[in-house]
Amino acid sequence: MTESVLIEKYDAVVVGAGHAGCEAALALARLSFDTILFTVSVDSIAMMPCNPNVGGTSKGHLVREIDALGGEMGKNIDRTFIQSKMLNRSKGPAVHSLRAQADKKEYSSSMRKILEQTDHLTIRQGEVTELIVEENKVTGIKTNTGAIYQCKVCILCTGTYLNARCITGNVSTNTGPNGLQSATHLSDSLEKFGIEIRRFKTGTPARMDGSTIDYSKMEPQYGDEKIVPFSFSNRPEDLQREQVKCWLTYTNEKTHEIIMDNIDRSPLYSGSIKGTGPRYCPSIEDKVVRFADKSRHQVFIEPEGNYTNEMYVGGMSSSLPEDVQEKMYRTVPGLENAKIVRNAYAIEYDCINSLELLPSLEFKKIKGLFSAGQTNGSSGYEEAAAQGLVAGINAARKLQEKEPIIIDRSQGYIGVLIDDLVTKGTNEPYRMMTSRAEYRLLLRQDNADERLTKIGYEVGLIDKERYDSFVKKYELIQSEVNRIRQTFVGNTQKVQNLLKKYESTPLSSGIALAELIKRPELSYDFVEPIDENRPSLSEEVKEEVNIILKYEGYIRRQKKQVEQFHKLEKKKIPSNINYDEVGSLRLEAIQKLKDVQPESIGQAARISGVSPSDISVLLVYLEQMNR
């Protein structure tokens, strides 16, 4: 038996140095709390074990919100991207999402450098095996060597390492991602304190030797000519650089035939994988079985970095045996002679039931203990980083004896993400999507700073110089919106010629420029030739002005919906309420309300299994209590 020895005391312990752990540790340290960050390997800090990119549909929103609050992910991908693209430009601004290919090694190295240069932050390699809890409050952790580190708060950011095992065919190894050491004891410690543990699964595709790929059979995918930064603190002109190409190819009927002929050898279908996998990011064998009517599926070939030949085969994650993988991948056009560098594999791991958490991401049962990232049943680097930042902020605020910061569903995708996890829970790896946000026209990626920078400044993660710059930007935007609303043009020949150019209805009398901009075929930029007093403005300011004017009616409507949402959020539920005493509540509702312990009527109404009639009963009961 290992002898326990007290090593050091810290304000905060962060367990795990993935994307959640990095944000959590940086937030605490930047707020001047002595923090120690544990990782099973210092070489795995901010590692990207799966896809080599940051952002994407809805995930790009999260990264920009992280940046607006004072987090690091946006700045780090701006430093290390090798291709950048704004997705969904052909659609409305609510779903525009930034996505960047990262140099994986450089992304990790750059984040590690930031951590190492941050005051109040210590990095330590080691496996945390036990929590030390006294009177329902975390007081420290113990490592596998018996070392004890005392702390006032602790954040679990264990990712996919808890009791992890990687599976390829009938071969299973008890390791975390990329063959790194798994954490084999912490789950037991959590269960000892009454925390419910679940088993989830995810996976990754093979990596190919790029020099053995025939790109002539694939469609090139280029980055944007004009780069849009993830971080609001960066200027587009400072990020212009030469970009790499990605490639698009497809599976075919031969690919699908090989998969179906060997489906009984897939751990997913043989029963050897017990964990629940992600519905919205299925393996290739899942796609072929579930979408049998599809004759092909997209496959993206993406570089892993500037200084490696490894190429990521996006869209073809798998746990099929190695010999099947060899045959399967080589049916794809361009991969006929490609050589596998790393096999595809599935990974099973432990995570918690996210209903164990408060909206602050603190455990209900253990004070001072927080949890963030895939530990909470989510998936993705961006979801993890967002939770890590919020957990770090709220752990710091607990040390400051301040109220936690709760970002609600009308303020950010971060709010939607966390609210979904702690209110609805998840029975599969949770993935952020734009469709999950009710107020997505208000929660655009372009205005994340308007929504959240003030919070970041008040918390202490945004400095005054950046905050003043932000205030000036939105003063310019509002000033220009007001000017455009008060600028009128007549039915002159110049105006009529411009309208004809864009196939827009001619004018019979004068009109405000703001009304012209609302026309589907026109925009703020298109009307510039007839706007004689237009000031010189940055592209981001012009984009905001255009959106505010063009979607004014829709934005006003969503703001009214948000007002109704806030009314229900303000109706607080006492923490000492006994739901068994609330007459006429259905049994299912009683159980769900007890499990979640909602803080407001609004949150209660979002719980799966709680009906509108249950909410009506609860409102009447609360009114009687108040009397």
pLDDT digits (tens, 9 = 90+) for 244-258: 999 999 999 999 999
CA-to-CA distance for 66 and 231, rounded, in angstroms?
9
Contact (CB, 8 A) for 22 and 72 = yes
Pairing assessment for the beta strands 207-209 and 340-342 based on DSSP bridges: antiparallel
CA-to-CA distance for 61 and 448, rounded, in angstroms?
7
The residue behind tokens 């962060």 is: 14
pLDDT at 280: 64
Contact (CB, 8 A) for 449 and 457 = no
Backbone φ and ψ of 133, nearest 5°: -125, 130
CB atoms closer than 10 angstroms to residue 569: 19
The residue behind tokens 């509702």 is: 589
**Which runs of consecutive H residues, i.e. helices, occur in 6-49?**
19-30
Indicate the residue type of 479.
S
> Which contiguous run of DSSP H or E holds residue 191?
helix 186-192
SS3 category, 123: strand
Which residues, at least 6 apart from 293, have a Cβ–Cβ distance to it below 8 Å? Answer: none
pLDDT at 271: 72
Q: What is the DSSP letter of 376?
A: G
CA-to-CA distance for 383 and 164, rounded, in angstroms?
20
Q: Which residues pair with 198 in a beta bridge?
A: 351
- φ/ψ region of 474 (left if φ > 0, alpha if ψ in -120 to 50, else beta) reads alpha
The residue behind tokens 């909206």 is: 359
- Identify which of 121, 124, 159, 128 has the alpha carbon closest to the alpha carbon of residue 19: 159
Structure tokens at 207: 């990596």
SS3 category, 207: strand
pLDDT at 269: 74
Structure tokens at 619: 């409102």
Pairing assessment for the beta strands 12-15 and 153-156 based on DSSP bridges: parallel
Backbone φ and ψ of 598, nearest 5°: -60, 150
Which residues, at least 6 apart from 358, have a Cβ–Cβ distance to it below 8 Å? Answer: 364, 404, 422, 599
Q: How far is CA 606 from CA 70, 215, 376, 603, in A?
A: 29, 48, 19, 5
> Which contiguous run of DSSP H or E holds residue 348?
strand 345-352
Pairing assessment for the beta strands 153-156 and 207-209 based on DSSP bridges: unpaired
Cα Dmax for the chain? 91
Below-70 pLDDT ranges, the chain = 1-2, 270, 272, 274-275, 277-278, 280
Q: What is the DSSP letter of 401?
A: T
Contact (CB, 8 A) for 421 and 601 = no
Q: Supply the pTM of this predicted model.
A: 0.95
Contact (CB, 8 A) for 324 and 265 = yes
Pairing assessment for the beta strands 219-221 and 246-250 based on DSSP bridges: antiparallel
- Identify which of 299, 335, 341 has the alpha carbon closest to the alpha carbon of residue 214: 335
CA-to-CA distance for 30 and 26, rounded, in angstroms?
6
Chain centroid to Cα 427, Å, comes to 18
